[in-house]
Structure 1
Amino acid sequence: MESYLVILIVVILLSMVRFTMVNNKREKLAEVNSCLLPCAFLCVIAGFRALDVGKDNYSYTRYFLGMTINKVYFFDFKKYWIYNLWVYLIRQVTDNVYVFNFLCALVLYISLYFFLHRYSSDERVSLILYINLGLFFTSMNQTRQALSLAVLLWAFHFVVQKKIVQVVILCLIATFVHNVAIVMLPVFLLFCLIPKITRSVATFFSIFSVGIVLLYNRLISLFVFIFPQYKYYLKYSKLFVERKSIFRYADFFLALTIQAFLLYGMHITRKKASVSTKRIDSDDIFGNILVCMNAIYLCMTYLILNGDIFNRLKSLFAYWVLLVIPYIIKKYFDDNKAIKALVCVVTIAYMWRLGVHDGDGVVPYKFYKDIQEILGNM
């Protein structure tokens, strides 16, 4: 646990480093914002982890070392051929697994950087949440899904701009990296096709998510039919009996609290708006998109209480929590620093009790073993 607290402290300190490089004519050459250095640091930590960090890393290592062109299976939906092609191309250059892990981490953290820099109301808070809510842990274990998520984060940029062709292409690429990503395609397409994401649309998503919960039994059968390989994960947890079930209830109540704040905030702003100012600006539209995304996340956190089968789906939507919480603080609490501090402290407790202990086998953390051995012999 101590190593992750050190990582968290370093991320906070690096997020305070901000400067702009200019030339003699005072023209801006480059800018280091509060998100750049922390993402670079996390990329190194995740990319150069020891190979025994993460329960799935051993399988990914063997898969990488055994990759040949015959295993790419071009255009085969069931064989995630784009991921295989990615592995194969790296394998032609090197057989060093650390290089492979670093390149995968580089893709994720470049995408995460632009995602937070473009859309987060407070990049530092988002980065702290990224660690405290356990997303950093999964990035060091679920390599293939992390790459798929990186593509989806890029796709979200085109969703905001309503560029359907780019959204479809990126969602398909993400799907051929990890097939669960296909569920994001109809969600993103809906955002693109609806002219304006209004409060009514956001409310509809909230109601729709409740409907999915009520239709759980039928939907679970449909999901298993589409993705039979995940039938194994269809098992149940009892509250306060299994540690993972407590972790999942914490996720659910967090998503429920966030959704309550968002819906209440929408109601208050609508009530305060006068007739002359009843227009939908870009900030309102973006906020409504976040309401929709969190509604789906809330739905997934509920469904996972009934079975592990939805765990992968839930993690697809978890990244938008990094935007939602800072948005709420800025929009409805006037960017209150005390509330930001409270959120960070509470989520540290969450990480301490739940996130780290169920962190996909990433505890204890170890850095690149070869470097450790070299330093030990100096």
Structure 2
Amino acid sequence: MGIFLCLSGILSFLGVLVISKKKISQQTALKIFTCAAFIGLVIFSGCRALDVGNDTPMYVRYFNRVDGLHDISKYQNRFEFLFRVFVCAIAQFFDSPHALLFISSLVIIFISFRVIYKNSVTPWYSVLMYLFLMFYYNSMCLMRQYIAVALCMVALSYLAEHKWIKFIIFVVAAGLFHTSALVVLIMLPLMSLPFNKGKKWWYVVGAVGAALCIDKLIGFLVRLFPRYAHYLNSEDYYLQNQIGTVIKIIVWALLFFVVDYVYDRYSDGTYGEKLEYFAALLGFSISLASLQGAILSRISTYFVIMFCISIPNALDKLPVRKTKYQLATLIMAGCFAYNMLIFVFRPYWSGVLPYTFWK
């Protein structure tokens, strides 16, 4: 835990340095922050021991059982096609499963950073949210899904630019890493809906209503993603972590309120704002529904990760500078408190503790 606390402390200090008016320019400070964040996150994730991360041992076993690209057909009932290609391609050139962990971490973090730095008005703030809201730690536990999540971030970035074909291609590619990613295709019809103050509350009511009618939605998801149906009745994942699910719902609800409040009053009505709003609404409503089905908590990740972009973008629209900084500080303090709450009181929720370096 000490390693991650030190990493968080260093990045927080560098983040403050970016906005301070000290001896170095803001641009130079941002470059230092970016290099430190990227290198630090890749090293701690990519060089972790083979048993760090809930699902890591499963992927290590799979890597050890394949011997290059001619083994792509193995485990086709367990793993999606592109993930099998990804693992077998690494096994073609490397014998150690550490290569799988390092390359997958490099891919996830590089893509996530690229999307963040392209779409966030305050990228260093977004990176800290990515860390403090546990997305970074979850990526070590759910390697396959987080490659899909990163690809969906790219897809949503293209959708914000009206590039629908590229959006579909990247979502389908993500689905070939983790089938659940196909749920992101729902953003395509949603983006055709009107985006104005009068309509948004109807969307909120409809989303919350759908979350309350969860039984039918769960049945649909089981038919759509049958291989993940066992999560619905998993005592280890659902019952023991129900408190964690409630805490997540509160966090996503508060962040959605910030996005909704700011966009309701200061929105420019752009297509990108519309995408960020619907992603925030879907993330909150799906997480709310996860009280009755743990699989939905994982599915909400495809949308809630966009808070790392929509929150700083929303804060940037606040007209009063003092209010902007106060709210930004409050939100970041809340994210840090959420991170510390898990590490101190429920460390096993992180999935990466106890952490061991390269074993």
Distance 1:229 1:195, change over 3 A: closer
For structure 2, the 5+ residue unaligned runs are 19-29
The verdict on how the C-alpha distance between 1:170 and 1:61 changes in structure 2, with shifts beyond 3 A counting, is same
Call closer, same or farther: CA 1:196–1:71 in 2, change over 3 Å: farther
The reply on whether 1:347 has 2:346 as its aligned counterpart is no
Query: Counterparts of 1:191 and 1:185 in 2: how far apart (Å)?
Result: 9
Deviation at residue 160 of structure 1 after TM alignment: 1.2
Identify the residue that residue 44 of structure 2 maps to in structure 1: 45
| 167-176 vs 122-131, which moves further | 122-131
Matched, 1:362 2:359: no
> Which has the higher mean CA deviation after the structures are superposed, 108-117 or 328-337?
328-337
Distance 1:314 1:303 in 2: 9
Cα contact 2:138–2:351 (8 A) shared by 1: no
Which digits, 9 at most, give the CA deviation of each residue in 1:83-121, with x for residues without a partner? 101111111101121222111111111111111112223
1:367 offset after TM fit, Å?
1.7
- Separation of aligned partners in 2, 1:196 and 1:303: 25
1:71 shift after superposition: 4.4
Partner of 1:82: 82
Q: CA deviation at 1:169?
A: 1.1
User: Secondary structure of the residue that 1:323 maps to in structure 2?
Assistant: helix
Native 8 Å contact 1:15 1:33 kept in 2:
no
SS in 2 for 1:140: helix
- Provide the rounded CA distance (Å) in 1 between the counterparts of 2:176 and 2:134: 25
Aligned residues of 1:35 and 1:116 also touching (Cα < 8 A): no
How many Å separate the matches in 1 of 2:262 and 2:332? 21
**Corresponding residue SS for 2:54:** coil
Q: Which protein has the bigger helix share?
A: 2
Residues 1:169 and 1:81: Cα distance change in structure 2 (over 3 Å): same
Q: Secondary structure at the match of 1:90?
A: helix
- Cα distance change on mapping 1:77 and 1:52 into 2, 3 Å: closer
Contact residue 202 and residue 292 of structure 1 kept, 8 A: no
Distance 1:201 1:45 in 2: 45
Q: Which amino acid aligns with 2:296?
A: F
Q: For the residues of structure 2 that align with 1:212 and 1:33, how far apart are their CA atoms?
A: 45
Over residues 239-275 of structure 1, what are the superposed CA-to-partner deviations in whole Å (9 max), with x where a residue is unaligned? xx966222211211122222333333344347xxxxx
Q: Is the counterpart of residue 321 in structure 1 residue 320 in structure 2?
A: no
CA 1:366–1:60: 2 relative to 1, 3 Å: same
- Matched-pair contact (CA < 8 Å) for 2:149–2:174: yes
Give the TM-score taking structure 1 as reference length.
0.81
Going from structure 1 to structure 2, the CA distance change for 1:100 and 1:334 (only over 3 Å counts) comes to farther
How far the C-alpha of 1:47 sits from its partner, in A, is 0.8
Is 2:317 aligned against 1:331? yes
Partner of 2:229: 231
Give the Cα–Cα distance (whole angstroms) in 2 for the partners of residues 165 and 143 of structure 1.
26
Aligned to 2:262: 265
* RMSD (Å), alpha carbons: 2.9
**Distance in 1 (alpha carbons) for counterparts of 2:78 and 2:141:** 21
Task: Count matched residues.
Answer: 341
Whichever of the two has the greater Rg, that structure is 1
CA deviation after TM superposition for structure 1 residue 208, in Å: 3.2
Q: Is the 8 A contact 1:197 1:289 kept in 2?
A: no
Cα deviation for residue 354 of structure 1 reads 2.4
Shift of 1:146: 1.3
Question: What TM-score do you get using the length of structure 2 for normalisation?
Answer: 0.85
Aligned equivalents of 1:217, 1:333: Cα separation in 2: 43
Which residue in 2 is equivalent to 1:63? 62
Q: Deviations along 1:214-237, whole A, 9 cap, x unmatched? A: 321111111112222222111388
How many angstroms does 1:333 deviate by?
6.5
**Aligned partner letter, 2:256:** Q
Instruction: Provide closer, same or farther for how the CA distance between residues 143 and 6 of structure 1 changes in structure 2, counting only shifts above 3 A.
Output: same
Give the equivalent residue in structure 1 for 2:252: 255
Shift of 1:202: 4.6
Question: What amino acid sits opposite 1:88 in the alignment?
Answer: C
Quote the Cα distance in structure 2 between the aligned partners of 1:333 and 1:358: 41
- SS class of match (2:141): coil
The answer to whether the 8 A contact 1:230-1:309 is kept is yes
Q: Aligned with 2:181: secondary structure?
A: helix
Equivalent runs, 1:92-131 vs 2, <5 Å: 92-131=92-131
How far 1:170 sits from its partner (Å)?
0.9
